[in-house]
Copies of this chain bind each other. A is one copy, B any other.
Amino acid sequence: MKRYERYAHEITALIEAQTLKAGDRLPSVREACAQRKISASTVFEAYYLLEARGLVQVRPRSGYYVNAKRTPRQAQPHTATPAQHSTDVAVSELVFKVLESTRRKDVVPLGSAFPSPTLFPLDKLARCLTPAMRSLAPERLSEDLTLGNDKLREWLALRYVVEGAAAAPEEIVVTNGAMEALNLCLQATTQAGDVVAVESPMFYSALQALERLKLRAVEVATHPRTGVDLDSLADVLQRHPVKACWFMPNFQNPLGSLMPESAKRAMVALLAQHQVPLIEDDVYGELYFDLRRPLPAKVFDTQGLVLHCSSFSKCLAPGYRVGWVAAGRYAPAVQRLKLMTTLSTAVPSQLAIAGYLQGGSYERHLRGLRSTLANDQQRALRLITRHFPKGTRTTRPQGGYFVWVELPAHINALQLQALALEQHISVAPGQLFSADQRFAHCLRINVGHAQDPRFDAALQTLGELACGLS
C-alpha cells in the first residue's frame, strides 16, 4: 500500500467509525503535512481518492468535507448459473418496447442507458466545432475518411500506450459510437450460425446484435463483483465451438462488475490458447471511482486477438457519436466493413473532440464526473436500502452509473416496470439482459440522473411499488 493509500485508508476508517461525521472538515493539507510528516502531494492524492470514492467533497477555498453517511453495505446479488446450451436470440421486441417507454419526456429515466447530458461539458465542446472545421483544409474531407481523423487516432493511440497496450494509429478505426464498433467487430469475427460467448446477465444491445446477425449465444457465469467466471468460461470453450466472446471487463452493463487485473490476464491467455477473439466493450472504463483507470484486457493481448471498443458518448460527448475500435489482427477486416456500411464517421464530431482533448481539460472534467457519479451511486443505494423490499440485494460497482438490483425472487420485474411507467418512471427489467429472460426478478437502475429533482422521489416510489408486489 502506498503512502497516500494508507492515509486515505485511515481517514476512511475514521468516517466509518463515525469519528469523522457528515459535514466535518478534513485536516487541511498544511495541518496533515505537519501532523503526519507526509508531503502535500501525498495528502492531495489521498483526498482525491476519498473524493473519487464519494466519501468526501471539496468546497472551493474552504477544504474537504465528509459526505453524508455511507450506505450500510447491502447483500450482493447472486451469481446466476447460465444454461449449458447455446440458444438462438429473440429479445429485440421486448427491448424495443421497453426502450420506447424510456424516451418519453415526462418520465424519470431510471431505465435509460445514458447518464444525464447535463453532466458533460457541452458548451465547451460546441465551441470547438466551428474553429475546428474552419481550420480544416477542404481536401482533408475526402482523405483517410474511413479510418477517421489523424489527430484523434494519434491521441487514442497514445492513450493506449500510456495504459500499456500497443495499438498503432493504423489499428484504430473511428466509428459512429461504440455500438457501430461492436457490430463491426462481430461481423469481422463471425458468420451466421456461429456461437458467441456472452456474459450472464449481459447488455441487451449485444443480444440484439447477435439476433440480427443470426448468431447463437452461450452464456458464461458472471460474478456481480468480479465479472466473467474463468472456470465457467473454460468450460464453455471446451463444450462449444465459440467463434468470439463479447465481454465488458470494466463496469459491466448491467452488473457493474469489474474483473481484477489477474483475471483479465488469465482470460486473455485462455482465449489465446483457444485462438478465440475477444470483443472488449470498454465504454465505462473511464468512469472509475478509484484512483486509477482499470486496465482494459487489451493490455494483456500479445496475439492481436482482442478487439477493444470504446467511445466518448458516456464520458464526454453524448450525441456526437464518436467511438472507436483497436481491432488487433482484425483491423483490416473492420476497416473494410466500416467502408462498406457507413463509409466514415462525421468529421465535425471527430474534430471537435480532438480539439477539446488538445485543450487539456478532459482530465479535470473526468475527475468531476467520476466524483458526481460516485456520490449519486451512494445516494441511490441509501434510497434503495430505505425503500425497497426486505431481501433486496444490490451491486455496489466501483465505477459507471448502473446499479443492479436483485429483488425477492417472486417479484416480476416486467410487472414492476409496467406499474412504474404508470407513475412516470422507467426502469430496465432483468428480462432484457439474457437470451432466456432469466433475470425476471432483477432491475438495472441508472443513477446518472440523480441531479434530476424527481430522482429521489422516483426511487422511493419504485421501492414502494416493489413492496406492494411482495
Please give the residue numbers on chain A whose beta carbons come within 8 Å of chain B beta carbons, in ascending order.
92, 96, 99, 103, 105, 109, 112, 114, 116-118, 120, 122-123, 125-127, 129-130, 133-134, 136, 138-139, 141-145, 176-177, 179-180, 183, 187, 192, 205, 208-209, 212, 214, 318-322, 336-337, 339-349, 352
Q: A130-B127, A346-B319 are in contact. Are A340 and B92 (CB under 8 A)?
A: yes
Q: A348-B129, A349-B348 are in contact. Are A138 and B118 (CB under 8 A)?
A: yes
A320 and B341: CB pair below 8 A?
Answer: no
- The smallest beta-carbon distance between A451 and chain B, in angstroms, is 11
> A319: which B residues are within 8 A, CB to CB?
141-142, 145, 344, 346-348
A321 and B337: CB pair below 8 A?
Answer: no
The complex places the Cα of A112 from the Cα of B143 at a distance, in Å, of 11
Of A144, A319, A345, which is in contact with the most chain B CB atoms at under 10 Å from its CB?
A: A319
A321 and B340: CB pair below 8 A?
Answer: no
Partner of A347, one of B133, B136, B141, B321: B321
Q: A103-B143, A205-B340 are in contact. Are A345 and B321 (CB under 8 A)?
A: yes
Partner of A176, one of B99, B109, B143, B342: B342
- The smallest beta-carbon distance between A59 and chain B, in angstroms, is 25
- The smallest beta-carbon distance between A333 and chain B, in angstroms, is 11
Q: Which 10 pairs from chain A and chain B are nearest by CB?
A: A126-B133, A129-B129, A346-B346, A319-B347, A141-B319, A117-B138, A130-B130, A321-B346, A176-B342, A117-B141
A92 and B336: CB pair below 8 A?
Answer: yes
The complex places the Cα of A136 from the Cα of B317 at a distance, in Å, of 14
> A337: which B residues are within 8 A, CB to CB?
212
The complex places the Cα of A275 from the Cα of B123 at a distance, in Å, of 50
> A136: which B residues are within 8 A, CB to CB?
122
A180 and B321: CB pair below 8 A?
Answer: no
> A143: which B residues are within 8 A, CB to CB?
103, 105
> A129: which B residues are within 8 A, CB to CB?
126, 129-130, 133, 348, 352
B208 and A340: CB pair below 8 A?
Answer: yes
- The smallest beta-carbon distance between A330 and chain B, in angstroms, is 15
Q: A212-B337, A337-B212, A343-B179 are in contact. Are A133 and B125 (CB under 8 A)?
A: yes
A321 and B343: CB pair below 8 A?
Answer: yes
> A134: which B residues are within 8 A, CB to CB?
123, 126-127
> A177: which B residues are within 8 A, CB to CB?
342-344
> A141: which B residues are within 8 A, CB to CB?
117, 122, 318-319
> A348: which B residues are within 8 A, CB to CB?
126, 129, 319-320, 346, 348-349, 352
- The smallest beta-carbon distance between A106 and chain B, in angstroms, is 12
Q: A92-B336, A321-B345 are in contact. List 13 more A-B contacts (CB 8 A).
A: A92-B340, A96-B336, A114-B142, A117-B138, A118-B138, A118-B139, A122-B133, A122-B136, A126-B134, A129-B133, A179-B341, A212-B341, A321-B344
